[in-house]
Structure 1
């Protein structure tokens, strides 16, 4: 080897330093070890910087909660990195010989818009200047009734967002149905959202530290979701130390680990599994009763001996992050989810003991890749690709008809997106990009007697080109995003140009005014062919637009808001109007005279969302009110009538208290009844059919629920913490009627069926973090 390579090799393999003084002369001396300490602070705010990476050739540490670090090294250079700050290289000569030095880091310009409202309801819920809501679960407070940081339960606490049947699989954003929401996890579009068929989110709270809600004015690189977008994501920071947790509640057991893989890579893994195969807790029983309420299975359990039901679920997720170098970063995300239901019947027929089992399986398998490169201080690119596979399979063994009925609904989607971000010298920011999505949906039905088999497979590809400008005034008092998205849908041979806009203006010192608007479309929707499909538990199936009986769904919406923030007070008001066309009667779940009618229509929703909040040092309280009118337009005898999802008035009150490591929260939810259609009194049946009044001309009883949550954290040792959480859903046990429908039974009389929400449901969890 050449002499210089020999010297370098010996320097690495020994505890000595070798230095060539001149030709033929080399000095050799013991290697010196240096110990440096410092405090990292933000150059602008002077606040300490937490969890920054301080790295040399032979060692690495992270800064603590005060921004302090101490490192032992033989190197004479330190590299300091933190997401949101410019990478800084410090020569060791900079450090004081007799004490710790203070190092100020410059903020790195990010494309996240400015926060205009902090702690909207509780700590960690913030409103951005682009009109979106960002929920940071790594720095979260507490909400009534929530045991853990469930992303899809949390967004329902925000004004204008509800679930008309108490499930995370039926979230209604300003009067829209759940299939009109775009659900993203690490950029992957998801077609399944809930465990226990909607009562628990499938997104592991320890793998999902942030959630973003967009009700209007979305960025141009988002497609689908004509009612809104819920975007969930994994952690974006590398972790230099192993962390993990194990936990147990009345529904499931779970584990999480964040594993460093060298200095530039980390792996996060998480898994949950229901514990119903070991013990049936009161929480499990309450959930099970709620799911089968109002279905044929409920009557079977009541009138058949030997009938039993079983629910089970699991999920597993993974995120690998690799910081290739200062300019390149790669992220790979994976999720596997499964729900299982088994209805068992043990009966005697012709003096023979018989056993039959009807099953329902719901699963999702998703894989995504995200690559980011910083080409220069002014240009950054992002490449994203994903594949998601959703399946719903049911096997119904009807012992009365002696018939086997099988149903399947599968969605296979691949997506590719490329974004370019360019920052100009005058402060303008430009986003341009291209997106390709291909969606394949397969439907399968089979009956064994008489034999019937139908399998339909459809595919649609969508291309999108888009551009958006972001402008800010010199004093940051005004910000505007304005852009256009051009779409081509191949199967429908349709072109669409969709504008998007968000404008935020600070008025005086404490007021903020905003205007949001957008046009969107989507090619997928959920329909209900029969209420008994898929055992009546998850009866919706995904279908593609075909320009005939299922058209392209299109939306237009606009909103304006005014917000006042001062000394812990927040007063916020927003008004909006939304028009959605291309919906089908089958997608709305009618259970009246239009249950089996196929028709294409639209709906128009408008209303206001109002919020008032007061924040003290340890106590926080809020009150929100929403008013909405939401009407269908179909070619029925009633040209316009109330939407199935119209909640005319809704009020939510909540409060939270924090003292040391104890958090408490309590509150109530009230809203007017859901529209329903009743039979005409004393003329309930005409010509063998239910004789209904005009569609949705009546309402169910008012909904009322009171909830409570408590959380306490304690240190068991220097590196081990324990978290205890307790919640009660519907403390008063109020019997909330969330649906009502009628049918004519075998004896020819009218039968009323009511579906009720969760009764008093306690839950408890214990978690160890290390």
Structure 2
């Protein structure tokens, strides 16, 4: 009885011992399963009396599975199968071993969350043309891959993964690559095709233009950024220029225009008739009329935020084109897998080739000025950008833009036959940089710096130098901005930041006879803290963005002020295809443009940038709210929006009065109440739209009689009917624009001239009590795309602005001549303006 337990114990111990020995054997097998390739070659040398020559550095770190083959040929094949080596037989005994220049690679792509296979991942050789995708098990294979190449593995929703090809040498099993999820916040598109391809409306109320997908608009054969903005309801230019865009009845200086995060003080060429920004490297343009994000300061009327292409392409791309005004070229050149440069340049043909387009533009730009049509005028612009990816999570961008308009003119006085030589230079040069960092899947930072300088200089001198006039308007601004983005939850994002800006502006006027000199300089420093929450439900039915800015603004000579600016944007889909929108904002700005009709630049540029001083020019502040409803069933969009906008702290100097209130310097406000309506029917082949805007826009100046009267920029009613049609590679656009005439002030009919004062003055009626005739313009354009070769695409286009040749009166004002008689001066619109273009893209 006592022996049985002992026997059983002996059996158990024996079994445990055998298991222990098995584990030891297994561990030994694992430890000797792979050996270094150098040791393996030495074993073969000893076993088969052969010699291998190789470079030690090429083989260091390489391992190979242990093989028990008994013959040399099988051993050599074993090396070829399991290493990136080539073997060359020199003689019966001697062999040479080198690294292969081309490799076979393979891998299995998984997510790093649950190790699920990722099918459809793109695997690309960055310095070559090879690529493939992973199969349904996440596995991929590529042959003949250069040894030193870098492999990029990417998939929508995951962060890109970079590795060297030699790390993915084909073996069994293939190497495993795990991709991290990317939680990049994407804005919901409410309208996928808004008026034309490349225009989209977002949940926060902003409108975005994507120039790479841009379609065609009436009168445009190329995607002029600022001209395109005027196709949107509520955005017009009362004088047909891109440098005087009025957003919901505001003046142009009340718009914040940004290029790669840099504030721009010049936006046009040819004195406002052409946009100064190259559209082919501008990736997207965001236009905001209300509900502005708290990351933006300045611009009480609206924001136009332009961003150039921001990603590094592995191959060169670019293009060039010419039209009847200018020629341009652009491109991006990759210097390395993580380094590239962008460039663009444009130069006018106007100083050596006078086309019908140039002649019509000249008549419009130089009317009612001191400039002869026979003048020497040209413009150019160029941009540059350096893109450097320190790593996939940290990116540096450096941007530069230079804009120049140059005019030289000679006039001869018929009385004394004396010639006067005049010049006008308008120059903007700006540069900036940014560092974008993604520290975790949920935390991002952005740091921006920029410096911008704008200078407008006019100089005139008579033939004998008896009269000399010098005028200069100089703006210098530098800014630093840092903001953080934290994703609290998949549906909630929190943004915080700080911005410091220093703006200096100088105005100089100097006359030799009679001697007069004026030099006004000022500097304002502003500091802003901002915070904002962004919420969007998982079902995309509700969106809310709310936050604000705290601004400290100080003019180093006169004042300091603290302003709080709340911001709000809400949209709610209360039924299928129906959304409600509510937007609101408080904003402020301390830069303005004085419109000086007496001391202007050759009668062309009457606007001078200046700073708020807290007295004559206070800080301009705005309050705006709007409410709208829209229906979007993808093929049909109908939207209506009502808004209320109040802007305080304006001075008559900034409003362009040409009546009895021109020089008084009163401070007041304007109030706009309006409605905007748009209906847009679209298919894959065409898009047609009708828009209407109503504005009730009135000034209030308590010291003027009467204190309330229509705004100089009031357009009571505005209509647009337009459409475009695509057939294969042919695109056609046609449109009609109608609007009420803007207000102006006529002289009194009973006593038009006041002769009791010296010099005599015009007696006017009540301010803005008359209206110009209504405005009507019809435009058309067409383009055709074709392939020149497999890699070069061509495009030709033609357009006609105002093809009915209607002479629209844009402005009317009055002045006294030398005999004290009243002269009527009228500025008229462009006449029939043809244009044509040819472009290539590669």
TM-score (ref. length: structure 2): 0.82
Given candidates 566, 579, 592, the residue that maps to 1:525 is 592
Separation in 2 of the partners of 1:38 and 1:722? Answer: 41
d(CA) in 2 for partners of 1:231, 1:665: 26
Residue 408 of structure 1 aligns with which residue? 472
CA distance in 1, matches of 2:38, 2:350: 64
**Distance change >3 Å, CA 686–CA 258, structure 1 → 2:** same
Q: Which of the residues 122, 139, 160 maps onto 1:87?
A: 160
Contact 1:59 1:71 in 2 (8 A): no
Q: Could you tell me whether the CA contact under 8 Å between 1:519 and 1:556 is conserved in 2? A: yes
What corresponds to 2:62 in structure 1?
A: 19
CA distance in 1, matches of 2:457, 2:141: 54
2:809 and 2:539 map into 1 onto residues whose CA distance is 52
Match of 2:657 in 1: 590
- Cα distance in structure 1, aligned partners of 2:56 and 2:480: 45
Q: 1:276 matched to which residue of 2?
A: 350
Partner SS for 2:253 = helix
Looking at structure 2, the residues matched to 36 and 107 of structure 1 have their Cα atoms a distance apart, in angstroms, of: 22
Give secondary structure in 2 for the equivalent of 1:734.
Answer: coil
- d(CA) in 1 for partners of 2:765 and 2:661? 12
Unaligned runs of 5+ in 2: 1-35, 42-53, 67-74, 87-99, 111-118, 134-139, 172-176
- How far has the Cα of 1:726 moved from its partner? 1.0
Displacement of 1:720: 1.4
CA offset digits 1:492-531 (Å, max 9, x no partner): 2211111001001112111011111000100100002334
Aligned runs of 1:557-572 on 2, under 5 Å? Answer: 557-566=624-633, 568-572=635-639
Q: What secondary structure is seen at the aligned counterpart in 2 of 1:312?
A: strand
Q: Aligned to 1:715, which of 787, 803, 816?
A: 787
Q: Whole-Å Cα distance in 2 between the matches of residues 374 and 732 of structure 1?
A: 55
Following superposition, the deviation at residue 54 of structure 1 comes to 2.4
Map Cα deviations across residues 675-721 of structure 1 (whole Å, 9 max, x no partner): 01111224322323212110001110100000011111111111111
Please, what is the CA RMSD of the aligned residues?
Answer: 3.3
1:639 CA drift (Å): 0.7
Q: Give yes or no for the alignment of 1:154 onto 2:228.
A: yes
Relative to structure 1, is the Cα distance of residues 692 and 415 closer, same or farther in structure 2, using a 3 angstrom cutoff?
same
Aligned residue number for residue 606 of structure 2: 539
The DSSP-based 3-state class of the residue aligned with 1:221 is: coil
Which residue of structure 1 lines up, in the alignment, with residue 408 of structure 2?
342
Partner of 1:43: none
Offset, 1:765: 0.9
**What does the per-residue CA deviation read over 1:196-222, in whole Å, with 9 as the maximum and x for residues that have no partner?**
010001101112121110001111110
Q: How does 1:717-736 map to 2 (within 5 A)?
A: 717-736=789-808
In 1, Cα distance between equivalents of 2:735 and 2:531: 43
Contact conserved, 1:248 with 1:766, CA < 8 A, in 2?
A: yes
Counterpart Cα distance in 1 of 2:331 and 2:152:
27
Alignment counterpart, residue 211 of structure 1, candidates 269, 276, 285 = 285
Partner of 1:741: 813
TM-score, structure 1 normalization: 0.90
Unpaired runs of at least 5, structure 1 = 41-47, 98-102, 302-306
- Which residue is equivalent to 1:239? 313
Indicate conservation of the 8 Å contact 2:420/2:460, yes or no.
no
- Paired with 1:63 and 1:237, the residues of 2 have a C-alpha distance of 21
- Tell me the alpha carbon deviations over residues 350-399 of structure 1, each in whole angstroms, 9 at most, x when there is no partner: 7xx85431111100000010110100011000000000000000113468
Q: How does 1:383-462 map to 2 (within 5 A)?
A: 383-397=447-461, 402-425=466-489, 427-462=491-526
In the alignment, the residues of structure 2 paired with residue 694 and residue 253 of structure 1 have an alpha-carbon distance, to the nearest angstrom, of 48
The correspondence for 1:675, drawn from 731, 739, 743, is: 743
SS in 1 for 2:336: coil
Partners of 2:438 and 2:261 lie apart in 1 by 19
Separation in structure 2 between the aligned mates of residue 69 and residue 407 of structure 1, nearest angstrom = 69
Larger radius of gyration: 2
Instruction: Tell me if 1:251 matches 2:325.
Output: yes
Could you tell me how far apart the structure 2 residues matched to 1:454 and 1:769 are? 51
Structure 2 matches for 1:620-699, cutoff 5 A? Answer: 620-634=687-701, 635-687=703-755, 688-699=760-771
Counterparts of 1:585 and 1:289, CA distance in 2? 29
Alpha carbons of structure 1 residues 37 and 709: separation in structure 2 relative to 1, 3 Å: farther
Query: 2:419–2:462: 8 Å Cα contact kept in structure 1?
Result: no
Measure the CA separation in 2 of the matches of 1:541 and 1:336.
Answer: 20
Looking at structure 1, the residues matched to 184 and 255 of structure 2 have their Cα atoms a distance apart, in angstroms, of 27
1: CA distance, partners of 2:485 / 2:109: 33
Alignment correspondent of 1:752:
824
Q: Is the 8 A contact 1:39 1:69 kept in 2?
A: no
Q: Distance in 2 between matches of 1:5 and 1:538?
A: 79
Given the alignment of the two structures, is residue 191 of structure 1 paired with residue 258 of structure 2, yes or no? no
What does the per-residue CA deviation read over 1:562-608, in whole Å, with 9 as the maximum and x for residues that have no partner? 11012511101111000000110000010011111111111001101
Shift of residue 470 of structure 1? 1.1
- Residues 225 and 521, structure 1, Cα contact 8 Å, conserved in 2: yes
Q: Is the partner of 1:365 in helix, strand or coil? A: strand
* Residue aligned with 1:571, SS: strand
